[in-house]
Chains A and B, each alone.
Chain A
């Protein structure tokens, strides 16, 4: 009996280390895009709380932690990253599986902010963009979701089909930062 094998676009490309900055693939597990129905945000937040122990985040914020995190993702949309969503959530929101739509990498190390400053037109410095803050923005020409997960660590999500360009652009920026020493 034949079977289907899973492949990951970052597998052949990452990890990558240039200077003091490292880019590595990370598997966030199940990704569920959640769009609350009209006036159901509070009920959804309560349901998330009881099912997954996380609240609905405010815009540009996240809740939870590694393994089960909710990221603000767009106007009126959040992404549940980690667990299989509780079916009860569907009462309050549209649930859409995005586990294969986005790929995720971690950019970390001294100078990670400088690398992002070359590609991302928003201020990601620690004083402004604190741990747990998230933003939907562009990385070069690509639509991404960036979340600060540590002092010098960012989680970046990008379209699966753009994985190769994503690594190319980040590698170029990492080389430019490293070359300055």
Chain B
């Protein structure tokens, strides 16, 4: 029911929205909760386990009951708190966890079975037979119990990530946070003020007290106006600080689009902020706690502070005949505000015998509420006094068991809060988060005047810590009433008294946990599920552990709390992973030949971040094998062109470059002549192979190292480590030039003709033997030429500045085609190198040594190099190690697979009998059969032996012969020819 002349919502702007298909009217500024209450809708959801009718408990993000699904279709968002969701024209909301409808929920039969469904029931009940758990019990329980569901479709919404930096981060913009921000702002600090609510002001928007003679909202407006006028202040609403991390880093979720009917194109739904603050003031306020009594979960039973919020901020009376139940003077404010607004207060029940009197409403001192009745909405309560019990008709009970400071964020770095007996609550331990100062209600200061003062105090301390002199700010006059709390956790009696509304945990469940010896608070939590799910027990934790303390005979301080972990309130995974959707996942690295390859319909495969053409289909070719076989034959018989720009290229210069290279390569490079290239092998410190490649000597003190595509970054990092960490005395300069050069392999018997055609002057045979290199001019452009080969054919790699890559690639292909050759892709490149027994990272996968790949003799004896000592360990040069071999079919073998294991012929193919494994396979069009590379125990000594190849994953079981890994042209005549 809306009350005239109350609230700070805009009555002139009606907003229509749907809840469960019915259209309701609210006003601008309403949440779903306030608008539904204004329409006298009390029932909003069903509880998790027992499907009990539930209404609105709170007025903020701590809400455990009123969860709804917003929107429909792919973007539907479940478990949105109705107390947080602002309404907009056309908003669509649906209730959750009920079937077929909210008022008639057939799953409510669970409530009748409650005696069997208590804490730990599924640990005990569904144990037998064992196979039934996965197939039967779990699906059944999952269907019966739960919160909202995702659509199962890809999320169409956009999420954003952003970074921010400031001197002082103020978390929470209630009276404390506003004064802290004002103090810091006037002192000239760079300030960020964040609040999770849509409007700043905190409790000042919900209370009737005056600040400096102004109403709360008016005073807030005045302060905000001043802050907005300062360019050293950033104000962010709808932003929840969800987590605290090391070095003053905070994670915060900004709800950017949830309150807008239309989102402009490109607008994010949410932004996840990473804020680095030199200091922070935590002004997160406090959360009111319910009182546990029988049937205290009925729609219409709300927190007293929430009732005041609905009344004073949204102008809504949650009932027509309200009762109030509490244990502090604070509870009396609720009754006073309601009476002032013209709402009938039927009774105030105060558990304290010395509660103050009132002439406006009956006060029941030393009394408690022991039960409630009504089916889907409250109709009466039972009040228990020394003289007995009586029923009072009421449609709304405002309850308060006191307030819990929001200590959560101070515990994220594993700090534990401290118990204070005077306010019966936990407060933050100072210094729990370095550089963070808790202030106001979250620090156990509950009066408005106290909060305003504490905000100034905390900001001043933080500023002094930063070396900034705090401005002299006087905290304004305001309400300064004592809190005067007496313990009231649970009202004794029969029946179920609810603690955790979201997880359907009762006082009895906690007692049961203790009885079964789950006495530690962490065990109790897991046994009962108290404090789990979306609200993380914001309203139930302290009460639950107070009851646990009571039944275990310990104090609350001794019992302690469970661990508060991030996030403070739910954060969508999509927000944490923002920018990672679709193409945001990783950058694409495109070669200069990319467009030309696509024009030739080449399918692309990923090699690290690079995209490389797999093969170049020609008309009539219907499978990749046809194209690949043709490309292999083309290279063997004519000429092929392949873009090899992705290989890492590292420029190494300086007087000590030769010495440096001798240390990073296991073979000798310093003796290499200028204008020559050498194959090099690089070991890790542990003696295993890291990478291989070529090293070209461009000048006396100038080298160009190539690496494999995948290991380019790793090798660069390794070189930097060696230069800075191991050999800082050497004068050497290392620069990656991978991106600067487009480089193409030109291979095949006709490669020489093709190369000569594009050089300004043809090659002189004597100057360009195998493994020569040098500068050339390519159609007028300065380039580099290397006579090297990864195919075993007479071949070259030609490099030009990347801007000419596209042009040169097109020209090379066109001319190669005229020579009956053409472009070849990764598939053919792979076949060509397997035919030659050349290794890639399929072979040097991190667990193999130079010895394993037959290159032990490359490890120089007369110099030191990285990995030398450890490569000589006996275990790494044991002949029985799995070592590189070639494999070819024994008989009419159709298939060989990489990943298959090798066994002795006749041995049972089980893991203990494995003799090795296959790393690379190909169909060799040159040889006309399958070939493979692999590792076999003592392999080089077993050439000629027949072994069994079994791939358990692909059901392959075949026999093959062990051979030399070089299948084609073992003498190397072709490459030199």
A residues neighboring B (CB under 8 Å): 1-9, 18, 33, 35, 37-38, 75, 77, 93-94, 96-102, 117-123, 125, 127-128, 140-142, 159-166, 168-169, 172-173, 175-176, 178-181
> Are B266 and A35 in contact, with the CB atoms below 8 A?
no
Given known A-B contacts A120-B163, A166-B587, A179 and B274 have beta carbons under 8 A apart: no
Q: How far is the CB of B820 from chain A (nearest CB, A)?
A: 20
> Are B583 and A8 in contact, with the CB atoms below 8 A?
no
Interface check B655, CB cutoff 8 A: yes
> Are B587 and A101 in contact, with the CB atoms below 8 A?
no
Q: Which residues of B contact A99 (CB under 8 A)?
A: 740, 801, 803
> Are B780 and A7 in contact, with the CB atoms below 8 A?
no
Given known A-B contacts A100-B741, A140-B587, A162-B589, A7 and B807 have beta carbons under 8 A apart: yes
Q: How far is the CB of A127 from chain B (nearest CB, A)?
A: 8
Q: Which of B579, B610, B654, B802 contacts A169 (CB 8 A)?
A: B579
Closest residue on chain A to residue B740 by CB atoms: A101
> Are B735 and A33 in contact, with the CB atoms below 8 A?
yes
Interface check B804, CB cutoff 8 A: yes
- Alpha-carbon gap, A8 to B160, bound state (A): 30
> Are B802 and A160 in contact, with the CB atoms below 8 A?
yes
- Alpha-carbon gap, A100 to B653, bound state (A): 20
- Alpha-carbon gap, A165 to B800, bound state (A): 24
B795-826 interface (Cβ within 8 A of A):
800-808, 811
Q: How far is the CB of B205 from chain A (nearest CB, A)?
A: 25
- Alpha-carbon gap, A127 to B589, bound state (A): 35
- Alpha-carbon gap, A173 to B583, bound state (A): 13
B705-752 interface (Cβ within 8 A of A):
724, 731, 733-741
Q: Which residues of B contact A9 (CB under 8 A)?
A: 590
> Are B731 and A37 in contact, with the CB atoms below 8 A?
yes
Q: Which residues of A contact B163 (CB under 8 A)?
A: 117-118, 120-123
A-B contact pairs, 13 of them (CB 8 A): A4-B807, A94-B735, A100-B739, A100-B803, A101-B740, A118-B162, A140-B579, A164-B588, A165-B588, A166-B587, A168-B583, A168-B584, A175-B266
> Are B731 and A38 in contact, with the CB atoms below 8 A?
yes
Interface check B976, CB cutoff 8 A: no
- Alpha-carbon gap, A176 to B803, bound state (A): 33
> Are B739 and A159 in contact, with the CB atoms below 8 A?
yes
> Are A165 and B165 in contact, with the CB atoms below 8 A?
no
Q: Which residues of B contact A165 (CB under 8 A)?
A: 583, 587-588
Q: Which residues of B contact A3 (CB under 8 A)?
A: 779-780
- Known contacts A37-B654, A100-B741; 14 additional CB pairs below 8 A are A7-B805, A7-B806, A98-B737, A100-B803, A121-B163, A140-B579, A140-B587, A162-B589, A165-B587, A168-B583, A169-B584, A172-B266, A179-B263, A181-B264
- Alpha-carbon gap, A1 to B591, bound state (A): 26
Q: How far is the CB of A181 from chain B (nearest CB, A)?
A: 7
- Alpha-carbon gap, A48 to B785, bound state (A): 32
- Alpha-carbon gap, A125 to B268, bound state (A): 22
Given known A-B contacts A117-B162, A161-B590, A37 and B735 have beta carbons under 8 A apart: no
Q: Which residues of B contact A122 (CB under 8 A)?
A: 163
Given known A-B contacts A7-B803, A77-B735, A100-B801, A37 and B579 have beta carbons under 8 A apart: no
> Are A4 and B781 in contact, with the CB atoms below 8 A?
yes
B564-597 interface (Cβ within 8 A of A):
579, 583-584, 586-592
Interface check B911, CB cutoff 8 A: no
- Alpha-carbon gap, A117 to B162, bound state (A): 6
Q: Which of B274, B592, B779 contacts A7 (CB 8 A)?
A: B592
B591-605 interface (Cβ within 8 A of A):
591-592
Closest residue on chain B to residue A73 by CB atoms: B735
> Are A159 and B589 in contact, with the CB atoms below 8 A?
yes
Q: Which residues of A contact B811 (CB under 8 A)?
A: 2, 4
Q: How far is the CB of B218 from chain A (nearest CB, A)?
A: 28
A-B pairs, top 3 by smallest CB distance, nearest first, are A175-B266, A179-B267, A94-B733
Tally of A-B Cβ pairs under 8 angstroms? 151
> Are B780 and A178 in contact, with the CB atoms below 8 A?
no
Q: Which residues of B contact A98 (CB under 8 A)?
A: 735, 737, 739-740
Q: How far is the CB of B628 from chain A (nearest CB, A)?
A: 25
B residues neighboring A (CB under 8 Å): 158, 160-165, 190, 256, 263-268, 271, 274, 276, 579, 583-584, 586-592, 610, 651, 653-655, 724, 731, 733-741, 758, 778-781, 800-808, 811
Given known A-B contacts A101-B740, A172-B266, A123 and B165 have beta carbons under 8 A apart: yes
- Alpha-carbon gap, A96 to B160, bound state (A): 38
> Are B735 and A35 in contact, with the CB atoms below 8 A?
yes
> Are B587 and A162 in contact, with the CB atoms below 8 A?
yes
Given known A-B contacts A4-B807, A7-B592, A93 and B579 have beta carbons under 8 A apart: no
Q: Which residues of B contact A163 (CB under 8 A)?
A: 590
Q: How far is the CB of A173 from chain B (nearest CB, A)?
A: 8
- Alpha-carbon gap, A5 to B733, bound state (A): 32
- Kindly name the residue among A97, A99, A125, A128 whose own CB sees the greatest number of chain B CB atoms within 10 A: A97
Q: How far is the CB of B595 from chain A (nearest CB, A)?
A: 9
- Alpha-carbon gap, A172 to B758, bound state (A): 42
Q: How far is the CB of A162 from chain B (nearest CB, A)?
A: 5
Mostly, the B contact residues are mixed
Q: How far is the CB of B352 from chain A (nearest CB, A)?
A: 51
- Alpha-carbon gap, A6 to B805, bound state (A): 8
Given known A-B contacts A37-B731, A121-B274, A181-B264, A100 and B588 have beta carbons under 8 A apart: no
- Alpha-carbon gap, A101 to B651, bound state (A): 13
- Alpha-carbon gap, A100 to B161, bound state (A): 31
Q: How far is the CB of A113 from chain B (nearest CB, A)?
A: 11
> Are A6 and B655 in contact, with the CB atoms below 8 A?
no
Closest residue on chain B to residue A114 by CB atoms: B162
Q: Which residues of B contact A77 (CB under 8 A)?
A: 735
Q: How far is the CB of A116 from chain B (nearest CB, A)?
A: 9
Q: How far is the CB of A135 from chain B (nearest CB, A)?
A: 13
- Kindly name the residue among A101, A121, A127 whose own CB sees the greatest number of chain B CB atoms within 10 A: A101
- Alpha-carbon gap, A180 to B587, bound state (A): 26
Q: Which residues of A contact B735 (CB under 8 A)?
A: 33, 35, 77, 94, 96, 98
Closest residue on chain A to residue B589 by CB atoms: A161
- Alpha-carbon gap, A127 to B166, bound state (A): 11
Q: Which residues of A contact B738 (CB under 8 A)?
A: 101
> Are B653 and A179 in contact, with the CB atoms below 8 A?
no
- Alpha-carbon gap, A161 to B588, bound state (A): 8
> Are B739 and A102 in contact, with the CB atoms below 8 A?
yes
Q: Which residues of A contact B808 (CB under 8 A)?
A: 4
Q: Which residues of A contact B655 (CB under 8 A)?
A: 37
Given known A-B contacts A37-B733, A128-B165, A159-B589, A178 and B266 have beta carbons under 8 A apart: yes
- Kindly name the residue among B579, B735, B800, B801 whose own CB sees the greatest number of chain A CB atoms within 10 A: B735
Q: Which of B165, B586, B590, B734 contacts A164 (CB 8 A)?
A: B590
Given known A-B contacts A96-B651, A101-B740, A4 and B586 have beta carbons under 8 A apart: no
Q: Which of B584, B651, B733, B802 contacts A100 (CB 8 A)?
A: B802
- Alpha-carbon gap, A82 to B190, bound state (A): 38
Q: Which residues of A contact B778 (CB under 8 A)?
A: 4
Q: How far is the CB of B818 from chain A (nearest CB, A)?
A: 12
- Alpha-carbon gap, A169 to B806, bound state (A): 24
Closest residue on chain A to residue B590 by CB atoms: A161
> Are B158 and A176 in contact, with the CB atoms below 8 A?
yes
Closest residue on chain A to residue B588 by CB atoms: A165
> Are A176 and B268 in contact, with the CB atoms below 8 A?
yes
- Alpha-carbon gap, A140 to B586, bound state (A): 9
Q: Which of B267, B803, B805, B806 contacts A180 (CB 8 A)?
A: B267
Q: Which of B158, B161, B268, B591 contacts A161 (CB 8 A)?
A: B591
- Alpha-carbon gap, A100 to B728, bound state (A): 30
Q: Which residues of A contact B190 (CB under 8 A)?
A: 127
Q: Which residues of A contact B161 (CB under 8 A)?
A: 118
Q: Which residues of B contact A162 (CB under 8 A)?
A: 587-589
> Are B586 and A141 in contact, with the CB atoms below 8 A?
yes
